[in-house]
Structure 1
Amino acid sequence: MARRSGSFSSITEPFRSFWHRFAYGLLILGAFALMVLGKADVVLVERARIAIADATTPILTFLSHPAATVSDLLQQGRELRDLRAENARLREQNERLMQWQVVARRLEAENRTLRSLTDFTPEPAATFVTGRVIGDSGGPFVRSVLINAGTRQAVAKGQAAMTGQGLAGRVAEVGYQHARVLLLTDLNSRIPVVIESSRDRAILAGDNSDRPRLLYLDGNAKISPGDRVVTSGHAGAFPPGLPVGVVISVSDHDIRVKPFVEWHKLEYLRLVNFGIRDAAESDPGLRIPAP
């Protein structure tokens, strides 16, 4: 056996030495021959490439399975890690919500008791219609928008116009298929409001700027930037508690409010009927004369 192994090695030794010596040149010649063949017979080379690809595809597919399996396992591991963190966050949030639920139930029970003691009359259920803004300004109103909803959709003058952020204005004119909403910032707008923290009453007056003013505040009122402003419900214009804005600046003669509504993003308005008649119709003293 040793002789045969040695004799075979002695036979193949010249070929191996020849290959080692001229391998680089043979490879270059082979590549050049393939290039010439590809130029001479494109169809043959294309068929050969397709055949080789078809033959090696099962092998590559088989070899790729372990890599894909490892990748899937790693992905599942990452997902499990993220799920654990998410579950921990949700459990913490759920605990907080349960605490708030207990507080809300206690407050609800107290409200029911107080309402029964004071013979409280509940407010009528509110209904609403959502309309799209189809036009800006017009007529005597500088800061107003046109909505594609009118008496056909049960829209009435005096209804509150709201967005997801808060009160935007009130319906000033109504047609069969449209309504004009007078915005809080218009010169003709006057809204009874209250400072949410101190309960000081005032009138939010527009002046055609983006920051309406607070008028008729009590001299002893303590107002600070950051105080929330909500509707007071007085004069029957709006129900109490509708979010209006936040005090942004306070000076000796001027208090400005930044409305919650983002005017540059005003696309849709919800016209809400709180069951309250138009204040201008019920009380002539609230009518604002045209400038």
Structure 2
Amino acid sequence: MIRISIQLRQSLARLTLPVLIAAAFGTMLLGKADVVVVERARMGLADALAPIWSALQRPVAAARAAVRDLSDLAELRQENARLREENARLLGWQNLARTLEAENALLRRQVAFVPEGSPGFTTARVVADGGGTYARAVLLSAGPHHLVRKGQVALDDRGLVGRVTEVGSRSARVLLVTDMNSRIPVMLEGNRARAIMVGNNGSRPRLLHWPPGTPPQEGDRVVTSAEANAFPTGLPIGVVRLTGTGAPEVELFARLDRLEMLRLFDYAVNGLPSPDPPPARPDPRGKK
């Protein structure tokens, strides 16, 4: 009996591989012969296993949800603590702002301050980049009866963009503050020092010619200055960023790579270029 069982096992072992190969070839031939039958069999097997997979996924999904809830709870606690701290700081700034507002109102009454009127502005859409005389400029579609004039100040929703340099019957061109021909008088809000912001055809204009002993510092807020009567005071421009060599540059508030709509303000500042050249005077001697 022992010899028979051993021989039987050896025979079965020798037959296993040929049987599996034959089954594989049979399945391949069946799939080639009748795709619909194989597809139905595969889908039937999937349908039979789907409830099992679903049942196995439930405890796994529940465990994952529990871990995620614990993580979210920890993050909410940290966020709550941060918001409380930020709220306390904002309350302090609010009290300081109210105190400064009252002091400012008192000083204005004492000096009989006359507030400036709100400047008029025109909104125009940016339709093209570059072109023209300048390397960093945008073309605006202003419409047939526009009120755009040379020298108007262009701003987006964040800060200064540039100035209008060319005006046509239906379009206008704005020279960006990053163009190498751009020279803008600016002021550092921290120490009220004046400087000149110079474009370099890059993304960050440079700062030059600040007073001795008052170099720009990292993070200083930069606004326009009324020097030379070219711009009004206080238009937001950006913040100071120091390069690896310590040279101050300005990280602009305006997103010059995403300009779509610009507001062109007419501040009526003295020194802005006239929109049209004055007419030529006739020669009193009759010469042309």
What TM-score do the two structures reach when normalised by structure 2?
0.68
Deviation at 1:69, TM superposition (A): 1.0
Query: What's the secondary structure of 1:258's corresponding residue?
Result: strand
Which of 130, 134, 153 pairs up with 2:128?
Answer: 134
Q: Distance in 1 between matches of 2:128 and 2:51?
A: 61
- Gaps of at least 5 residues in structure 1 are 1-9, 284-291
State the AA in 1 paired with 2:184: I
Which of 113, 118, 128 pairs up with 1:124?
Answer: 118
Aligned residues: 264
Q: Distance in 1 between matches of 2:157 and 2:81?
A: 28
Deviation at 1:211, TM superposition (A): 4.3
Query: What's the secondary structure of 2:187's corresponding residue?
Result: strand
Deviation at 1:84, TM superposition (A): 1.3
Alignment RMSD (CA, Å): 4.2
Query: What's the secondary structure of 1:280's corresponding residue?
Result: coil
> Relative to 1, partners in 2 of residues 1:95 and 1:126: Cα closer, same or farther, differing over 3 Å?
farther
What's the counterpart of residue 277 of structure 1? 268
Determine whether 1:174 maps to 2:167.
yes
Identity %: 20
What's the counterpart of residue 222 of structure 2? 229
What's the counterpart of residue 4 of structure 1? none
Matched-pair contact (CA < 8 Å) for 1:233–1:241: no
What TM-score do the two structures reach when normalised by structure 1?
0.68
Matched-pair contact (CA < 8 Å) for 2:159–2:253: no
State the AA in 1 paired with 2:15: L
Q: Distance in 2 between matches of 1:148 and 1:100?
A: 43
Deviation at 1:74, TM superposition (A): 2.6
The structure richer in helix per residue is 1
What's the counterpart of residue 79 of structure 1? 68
What's the counterpart of residue 30 of structure 1? 19
Deviations along 1:110-131, one digit per CA (max 9) or x if unpaired, are 2431342114526627867363
Deviation at 1:232, TM superposition (A): 2.5
Which of 221, 242, 255 pairs up with 2:236?
Answer: 242
What's the counterpart of residue 93 of structure 1? 82
Deviation at 1:80, TM superposition (A): 0.7
> Relative to 1, partners in 2 of residues 1:70 and 1:15: Cα closer, same or farther, differing over 3 Å?
farther
What's the counterpart of residue 148 of structure 1? 140
- Gaps of at least 5 residues in structure 2 are 275-288
Deviations along 1:172-207, one digit per CA (max 9) or x if unpaired, are 223344221223344553322112222122343457
Whose radius of gyration is greater, 1 or 2?
A: 1
Q: Distance in 2 between matches of 1:241 and 1:264?
A: 15
